[in-house]
Amino acid sequence: MPDFDAIIIGTGQAGPSLAFRLAGAGMKVAVVERSLVGGTCVNTGCTPTKAMVASAYAARIARRAADYGVAIGGDVGVDMGRVKARKDAIVAASRDGLTSALENAANIALYRGHARFVSPQAVEIAGQRLSAARIFINVGGRAAAPPMPGVKETPYLTNSSMMDVDFLPRHLVIVGGSYIGLEFGQMYRRFGSEVTIIEMAPRLVRHEDEDVSAAIKDIVEQEGVHFRLNAECISFAKRGDEIVAKVDCAEGAPQVAGSHLLLAAGRRPNTDDLGLDKAGVRCDEHGYIVVDDQLQTTAPGVWALGDCNGKGAFTHTAYNDFEIVAANLLDHDPRGVSERINAYALYIDPPLGRVGMTMAQARSSGRRVLAGERPMTRVARAVEKGETQGFMRILVDGDSKEILGASLLGTGCDEAVHAILDLMYAKAPYTVLQCAMHIHPTVSELLPTLLGDLKPVG
């Protein structure tokens, strides 16, 4: 049985970085991957979708060319084969670079296959056993097919199979009005598909504030995406060439017929086929591995990083997990998950940059909350770019003067939100940002202005 100092299962957004750190510290490391090196983010998540969002943006701007005084001279066409080829090239460069780095690194052995625990210190891959005193689980998650009637009998796409689509669906029906569904929905509408998004909740991205959800709906709806909210009793059937989704909504027709169905209604961790019971690693009722603040599981010598531990669902949270584990093991730095501040973006165009609390959360925290707000129509850079949809909101604790959170929906807001995020990490009062001189013309230059006009939240 080959002996290692460490085994890492999965090459998502934490595993490879951890492998390089451990190997650099002189440990003998085995890395196991059953599918594509780079995991979800590189192959079927962030990288390909953001490459496609960029193609969709180009189509949108081309169609709006006249607004900018630019003559295109004819209809704007989208070549889906070339959109896919561009996306594939970007993904392949990232995956191949990572694969070759792992294959060529000193002290790292890359195994291809499905790893399953046989004991707390050993895993099996296609009949071969590997053992190590430390095992790190970075197995990520996959799209969940909700148990809706007819789903098994109806062909459907997920974020993974969408990556092979090189044609324009006539009518894409998407179940799920959250991050993944909205990104694909707006993107395919811009490519030229008819798009209907079905959402069970009364509003989109229900974790956001109601006015943020409403503004996002307006933005996407204005481009011609149809929504069916409050959709209860969703079921599917195949009718000739069409897919029919039956919905029980408060308004509108009782069914939506489309050419293709995309399920974007949640994800589940890849923990059901890992033999975790053989290692004494406990999961919660949703299959997420239970970890402590330093990401150790219930089995000594076994850690869980990334989406599979339920502490985050983003590339940056998985990468931060790597940093926490490496800091504790190698740097004697007791970093913990509880130190991190919730932050993410929704990549519709314009994007939503989010950090910390929503208005609803701030209100229910019992603090004296102050808010600064501004529509993007009053941001010079947005006006100059011809992209004035959305609004910005920053929330402040009126007593401690610390920033509680921000929702920035507008052009450039996925970047601008970092000024706030960094200030929150510094635990500095908002007045530091208020007094900072910012560059003109940018979206960020308005953040001090928002903070100079804070109003009490009722």
Ligand X SMILES: Cc1cc2nc3c(=O)[nH]c(=O)nc-3n(C[C@H](O)[C@H](O)[C@H](O)COP(=O)(O)OP(=O)(O)OC[C@H]3O[C@@H](n4cnc5c(N)ncnc54)[C@H](O)[C@@H]3O)c2cc1C
In this complex, which beta carbon is closest to ligand X, that of residue 115 or of residue 122? 115
How many CB atoms are closer than 10 A to CB 218?
11
Q: Does 35 bind ligand X (CB under 6 A)?
A: yes
The single residue among 8, 23, 29, 41 that binds ligand X, judged by CB under 6 A, is 41
Query: In this structure, what token pair is assigned to residue 269?
Result: 């961790």
Q: Which helix (H) or strand (E) holds 92?
A: helix 80-104
Q: Does 13 bind ligand X (CB under 6 A)?
A: yes
Of 61-69, 139-147, 364-372, 381-389, the segment contacting ligand X by CB under 6 A is 139-147
Q: Name beta bridge partners: 136.
A: 8, 303
Cis before 441 (ω within 30): yes
Q: Does 99 bind ligand X (CB under 6 A)?
A: no
Of 56-64, 308-316, 358-366, 390-398, the segment contacting ligand X by CB under 6 A is 308-316
- From the list 449, 60, 372, the residue with the least C-alpha distance to 223 is 60
Cα–Cα distance measured from residue 247 to residue 265, given in angstroms and rounded to the nearest whole number? 15
Q: Does 220 bind ligand X (CB under 6 A)?
A: no
Query: In this structure, what token pair is assigned to residue 73?
Result: 């001279």
Cα–Cα distance measured from residue 181 to residue 177, given in angstroms and rounded to the nearest whole number? 5
Site string for ligand X, 153-172 (x = CB under 6 A): ------x-------------
457 class by beta-carbon count within 10 Å (0-12 exposed, 13-18 middle, 19+ buried): middle
Q: What distance lies between CA 11 and its chain's CA centroid?
A: 17
Q: Does 185 bind ligand X (CB under 6 A)?
A: no
The single residue among 17, 94, 121, 138 that binds ligand X, judged by CB under 6 A, is 138
The single residue among 6, 8, 9, 244 that binds ligand X, judged by CB under 6 A, is 9
Q: Which one from 207, 226, 316, 440 is the annotated catalytic residue?
A: 440
Q: Which helix (H) or strand (E) holds 375?
A: strand 369-375
Q: Does 205 bind ligand X (CB under 6 A)?
A: no
Q: Does 110 bind ligand X (CB under 6 A)?
A: no
On whether the CB atoms of residues 392 and 409 are closer than 8 A, the answer is yes
Nearest approach in angstroms of CB 317 to ligand X is 7
The single residue among 49, 193, 328, 407 that binds ligand X, judged by CB under 6 A, is 49
Site string for ligand X, 351-390 (x = CB under 6 A): ----------------------------------------
Q: Does 412 bind ligand X (CB under 6 A)?
A: no
**DSSP symbol at 429:** B
- Dihedrals φ, ψ of 175, to 5°? -100, 115
DSSP-derived pairing of the beta strands 108-112 and 226-228: unpaired
Number of residues that bind ligand X (CB under 6 A): 37
Q: Does 307 bind ligand X (CB under 6 A)?
A: yes
Q: Is 408 helix (H, G, I), strand (E, B) or coil?
A: strand
Cα–Cα distance measured from residue 216 to residue 373, given in angstroms and rounded to the nearest whole number? 16
Query: In this structure, what token pair is assigned to residue 192?
Result: 């030229």
The single residue among 18, 23, 27, 180 that binds ligand X, judged by CB under 6 A, is 180
Of 19-27, 87-95, 313-321, 400-408, the segment contacting ligand X by CB under 6 A is 313-321
Q: Give, in degrees to the nearest 5, the angle at Cα 25 between 22 and 28.
A: 60
> Active-site residue 440, yes or no?
yes
Nearest approach in angstroms of CB 143 to ligand X is 7
The single residue among 17, 55, 186, 270 that binds ligand X, judged by CB under 6 A, is 270
- From the list 345, 318, 362, the residue with the least C-alpha distance to 179 is 345
Nearest approach in angstroms of CB 45 to ligand X is 3
Nearest approach in angstroms of CB 209 to ligand X is 21
Q: What distance lies between CA 356 and its chain's CA centroid?
A: 16
Q: What distance lies between CA 136 and its chain's CA centroid?
A: 22
Q: Does 11 bind ligand X (CB under 6 A)?
A: yes
Residues of span 327-356 touching ligand X by CB under 6 A: 347
DSSP-derived pairing of the beta strands 226-228 and 302-304: unpaired
The single residue among 110, 274, 279, 304 that binds ligand X, judged by CB under 6 A, is 274
Residues with catalytic function:
440
* Contact set with ligand X (CB under 6 A): 9-14, 32-36, 39-41, 45-46, 49-50, 114-115, 138-141, 159, 180, 270, 274, 306-308, 313-316, 318, 347
